[in-house]
Amino acid sequence: MKHMLTLTTMVVVLAGAACRAHDIRDAGGNALTNRWLYSSGDGIGKIEKFEPSLTLNAGQVSGWTGCNHLQADFSVSGNTIKIRQKMKTSLPCPSQAAVAGEQAFENLLQSVARYETGAGVLRLITPEGKQLVMRAYVPAPRATLVGSEWKMLSAAMLPGAVGTSEMIQAHRATFDTRRLRLSQPCYEISADYAASEAGMSFSNVSVVQRACTEKREAEFTLQYLQPMFARINRYTISERRLSLYAGEDFQLDFEAKP
């Protein structure tokens, strides 16, 4: 299935005028403008490797539905919130259980009527009292990058689309003490990296191309990936998930390789 960006018109309408989201913090000091990881949702069963997330920052929402990226605007007033979804990718889910989980997650998200925060937990609550429970992201030690190996899950690049999901998910990333290697059957991208609490940067980017049967698709994917390494400026890492960001229009997501 082709990786395509589709515009949606989902609107989560919640009462209240907008206020500055960065002024809102929970009782534990966690700002609403945080990265929130899925904990549970009414109507969503236990699904292997189902890990949705929502990042709220400066009136913008970027998220992972368990299978796809989404982007939205948000505003809040009191304990009400308004979210207008702008974009969602069209990647296939790995299983029927994940398809059902993604749909249930989105149904809850577009139905919420209010929110509660406290002790590092965000609860999004529908008028019927159903809840989508998210926990605050806690970064893993930065040193865990060294020696780590990752499988690429997805690439969100606006305004274009990139290759096929199979091509994207064929990428493997490894980090040694100073260099990243991102490889797949048709090429390898390598670059020096520097990572700190303040962010991430890459330099001395090089590409080695290989003979392969999917050369045309690989070249299409490569023309997006290679230039982006000069723009990547931050990342998040947890025990099983790594995300690289370049502003608001580029994101690479990886899961830890077993």
Domain at 217, CATH number = 2.40.128.270
Tell me what pLDDT residue 19 has: 37
Concatenate the DSSP letters of all residues of 119-146 into one string: TTEEEEE-TT--EEEEEE--PPPGGGGT
Residues 36 and 130 reside in one and the same domain: yes
Residues 89 and 182 reside in one and the same domain: no
Contacts of 31 (CB under 8 A, 6+ apart): 22, 24, 25
Residues 36 and 124 reside in one and the same domain: yes
Residues 96 and 35 reside in one and the same domain: yes
The segment with the largest mean pLDDT, out of 9-18, 26-35, 169-178, 190-199, is 169-178
Region of poorest pLDDT, from 99-103, 219-223, 238-242: 219-223
Tell me what pLDDT residue 25 has: 52
Nearest to 114 by CA among 130, 137, 135: 130
pLDDT band at 140 (very low <50, low <70, confident <90, very high): low
Tell me what pLDDT residue 192 has: 95
pLDDT band at 31 (very low <50, low <70, confident <90, very high): low
Number of domains in the chain: 2
pLDDT band at 32 (very low <50, low <70, confident <90, very high): confident
Structure pTM? 0.60
Tell me what pLDDT residue 203 has: 93
What does each C-alpha distance from 217 to 16, 68, 163, 186, 250 come to in angstroms?
47, 21, 6, 9, 19
Residue 96, judged by CB atoms within 10 A of its CB (0-12, 13-18, 19+), counts as exposed
Q: What is the mean pLDDT of residues 195-217?
A: 84
How far apart are the C-alpha atoms of 13 and 210, rounded to whole Å? 50
Indicate the residue among 83, 116, 136 that finishes a domain: 136
pLDDT band at 28 (very low <50, low <70, confident <90, very high): very low
Tell me what pLDDT residue 183 has: 92
Residues 165 and 132 reside in one and the same domain: no
Strand 69-77, strand 172-175: pairing? unpaired
Domain, as residue range, for 51 = 5-136
pLDDT digits over 33-55, tens only?
788 889 999 999 888 878 898 98
How far apart are the C-alpha atoms of 53 and 245, rounded to whole Å? 15
Indicate the residue among 113, 136, 159 that finishes a domain: 136
Residues 165 and 208 reside in one and the same domain: yes
Q: What is the mean pLDDT of residues 154-166?
A: 61
Residue with more model confidence, 121 or 16:
121
Contacts of 250 (CB under 8 A, 6+ apart): 156, 157, 158, 228, 231, 232
Residues 92 and 31 reside in one and the same domain: yes
Indicate the residue among 136, 164, 197 that finishes a domain: 136
Residue with more model confidence, 226 or 140:
226
Tell me what pLDDT residue 188 has: 92
Tell me what pLDDT residue 10 has: 34
